[in-house]
Amino acid sequence: MELVANFETITPLQAQEIIDKNNIDNRRVDYNTVNKYARCMLSDDWLVNGQTIVFDKNGVLRDGQHRLMACTSSDTPFVTLVVRGVDPSCFKTLDDLRKRTLRDTFSIMQEENHNLLSGIVHYFAQYKTYNMVRESVNFSNIEGTNFLEKNPNVREVAEFISKNKKYLRELPPAVLGTLKCIFDEISVEDSNRYFNTLLHGVCDDINNPVKIFRDIVIRYKLTRKRNSRVRTPIWFFKGIKAWNFMRKGRSVSKIVIRENEKFPVAI
């Protein structure tokens, strides 16, 4: 088997032609991945890292469809290593290794609290980009590291949450940290007041919205059925609503999410 490897510049037109003619029996397209790659190409964050576009000896594309689709989606050419001539049966071994995560990247960078830090960056970047948090949105590792450099205060928040998460173990630390980052950007004083109540339950008003949110979290953990869980965006939804009620000086007896209610934006 003779393999040929060369660095090539793939244009959007070439990428589309490959997708149309050579992309046979490939895996299902993950459009979140396509969009993630396209953002990197548009922002000039796409780097030549040695990963390959692979064709078998029959000219069939065996690896690289998401990168090629990102090229056409972003209308941006990119340089990549192209390998041609592999045995068709080799497709079974492609992508068989564990992918490096943002957590791994932060660990290699020797960031403190790298596990918590990656979770906060994941959610906080979503909120700042889309004004909402969803479980299905992913950012590339380079997007994550760039975001951290532009928002260095996330490190301080991660340290704060790492020291104080024991006071509200029922809520995921990454959710706590992201809410702190969101609220700190609006008012550090109010954010500290919110977290004093959320973490420690310090409040004489039983209808304080943050106290109500804390009670919801604790009550859910006490009464939930085995193997059940609340989807992460729900905690953000209710946590931000509690913040908005607090900022408006409103007392509430419950925090509910109405049908078709839009994701709240912190005020």
pLDDT of residue 175: 96
Mean pLDDT over each residue of the chain, to the nearest integer: 90
**For the domain that residue 66 is a member of, what is the CATH number?**
3.90.1530
Position 96 pLDDT exceeds 60: no
Distance between CA 224 and CA 184 in Å, rounded?
Answer: 31
**135 pLDDT above the threshold of 80:** no
Quick one: pLDDT at residue 217? 93
Radius of gyration of the chain (CA): 23
Mean pLDDT of 65-74: 94
Q: In this prediction, what percent of the chain has a pLDDT beyond 90?
A: 69
Please tell me the pTM assigned to this model.
0.74
Residue 259 lies in a domain: no
Among 21-25, 104-108, 174-178, 221-225, the range scoring the smallest mean pLDDT is 221-225
The mean-pLDDT minimum among 86-95, 105-114, 141-150 falls in 86-95
Distance, CA of 32 to CA of 167 (rounded, Å):
35
* pLDDT reported for residue 123: 95
Q: What percent of the chain has pLDDT over 70?
A: 93
Domain shared by 76 and 122, yes or no: no
Give the residue with greater pLDDT, 10 vs 220. 10
Is pLDDT of 131 > 90?
Answer: no
How many domains would you assign to the chain? 2
Give residue-wise pLDDT tens across range 204-245: 888 999 999 999 999 887 666 555 566 888 999 999 999 999
Measure the CA–CA gap between 121 and 189, rounded to whole angstroms.
22
> How much is the average pLDDT of 21-42?
88
C-alpha to C-alpha distance for 173 and 64, rounded to whole angstroms? 35
| 130 plus 234 within the same structural domain | yes
The set of residues, in sequence order, having a beta carbon less than 8 Å from that of 84 and lying 6+ positions away, is 3, 4, 5, 54, 55, 57, 59
Decide if 255 is inside a domain. no
Show the tokens assigned to 48.
């030549």
Which 3 state secondary structure label does DSSP give 183?
helix
Residues 113 and 61 in one domain: no
Its domain, for residue 74, covers 4-88
Residues 159 and 73 in one domain: no
